[in-house]
Homo-oligomer: A and B are copies of this chain.
């Protein structure tokens, strides 16, 4: 069946000429199968880092517009080299910068949002049987300047281009072959998932699973773009990311551990109105993202508040709390030996008892739960870091993830 595919290859997939040839060969195979193909590429390997280093040599804090003008060249090099590599294989191909591909953005340089895509030239060239290679990470802003999309921008370019072209699928090529039920290095029985729901993928992305950035998954969900995460090293199916309504609900899709968190506890906080607001405003102003928050009920006008933050930010939080005004407390405690373990599954929406089963499984292993946080499709617990791997293995088994669903 002839499909329109948007394929995205990241910087490590196109690191040098040899990689370019391999990617070109992969594209040729899919083209030979009768598919129409749009390719989105990032800058080659360390190109962006080199450009940033060059900029820093002349200015410690370069102007955002000029920064974008500079960085956009990285992808422009990739697209033309990949076009040449495809030509070498006898495949008709044409490269397009973000602006040429009709990608429009808002005016915020270095973290622009895509405001629309008008892929006239892309369609014209597809109609002429060509592979169209689009520079990721960039577009044209309202005053005709190049703007870059920021972190994960090339994934976003691919997803947005797929939406604009109503492509059959957007394939994100990475160095892993898909999304797993758990980290295979921790849980040997972890299995590659054939499918995962957008919402599940979003929960995993926020957990730090680096496969796909939240922005791209959200965009794909909003525009109904079917995503596939797959490896560029082998030709085999990856993991499909799609609407939950199109797939069988499972109670738990996967289990993940985030060991990059630290816990802050304030004991004996004077429980006056607005104290939590003061506290978390101060932490936010220190540039720190708070994840799980737990506040116990107040006793004798005092309460305990615990929250988790990225481990690297722990010192910033400590400084912030030492000088905080409007918040009185007896003691501040810091623990950077914790982990957050999370179960994800859209089936939880219509099932109860996942949390209690989870606590039971952990209790059986004598794992103490320090904090609990839940959403519609997720249960997270904060536990001792040393127990994280055992917890993942126990939960993987307890929720039947060791076997494939149909086995």
Residues of B contacting A51 in the complex (Cβ-Cβ under 8 angstroms): 77
10 pairs, A vs B, C-beta closer than 8 Å? A17-B54, A17-B57, A58-B81, A62-B87, A63-B87, A65-B94, A66-B80, A66-B84, A69-B80, A69-B95
The chain B residue with its CB closest to the CB of A79 is B69
Contacts of A121 in B (CB 8 A): 144
CB of A211 within 8 Å of the partner chain:
no
Q: What is the interface of chain A mostly: helix, strand, loop, or mixed?
A: helix
Q: Are A81 and B54 also in contact (CB < 8 A) when A69-B76, A69-B95, A100-B144 are?
A: yes
Residues of B within 8 Å of A111, CB to CB, are: none
CA distance in complex: A69, B85 (Å): 14
Residues of A40-70 at the interface with B, using a CB-CB cut-off of 8 Å, are 51, 54-55, 57-59, 62-63, 65-67, 69-70
Contact among B54, B66, B69, B72 for A87, CB-based, below 8 A? B66
Task: Report whether A77 and B73 are in contact in the complex, using a CB–CB cutoff of 8 Å.
Answer: yes
A73 contacts which chain B residues (CB < 8 A)? 73, 76-77
**Which residues of B lie under 8 Å from residue A80 when comparing CB positions?**
55, 66-67, 69-70
Residues of B within 8 A of A235 (CB): none
Cα–Cα, bound, A97→B81 (Å) = 20
Mark A90-102 against chain B: 1 for CB-CB distance below 8 A, else 0: 0000110100100
Complex Cα spacing A25 to B11, Å:
36
Mask of A17-52 contacts with B, CB within 8 angstroms, 1/0: 100110010000000000000000000000000010
* Interface pair B66/A95, CB less than 8 Å apart: yes
State the Cβ distance, A127 to closest chain B Cβ, in Å.
15
Q: Write out the residue numbers on chain B whose beta carbons fall within 8 Å of the beta carbon of A66.
A: 80, 83-84, 87, 94-95
User: How many whole Å from A49's CB to the nearest CB in chain B?
Assistant: 14
Given the known interface contacts A54-B17, A54-B81, A100-B144, the answer about A88 and B59 at a Cβ–Cβ threshold of 8 Å is: yes
Q: How far is the CA of A70 from the CA of B81 in the complex (A)?
A: 7
Which one of B24, B67, B84, B144 lies within 8 Å of A55 (CB-CB)? B84
User: Other CB < 8 Å A-B pairs besides A51-B77, A66-B87, 9 of them?
Assistant: A17-B57, A54-B77, A59-B84, A59-B85, A59-B87, A59-B88, A62-B87, A63-B84, A70-B76
A42 to chain B, nearest CB (A): 15
Q: Is A76's CB under 8 angstroms from B81's CB? A: no
Docked complex Cα distance between A84 and B65 (Å): 10
Whether A384 is near chain B, meaning CB under 8 Å from some CB there, is no
Q: Contacts of A84 on B, CB cut-off 8 Å?
A: 55, 58-59, 62-63, 66-67, 70
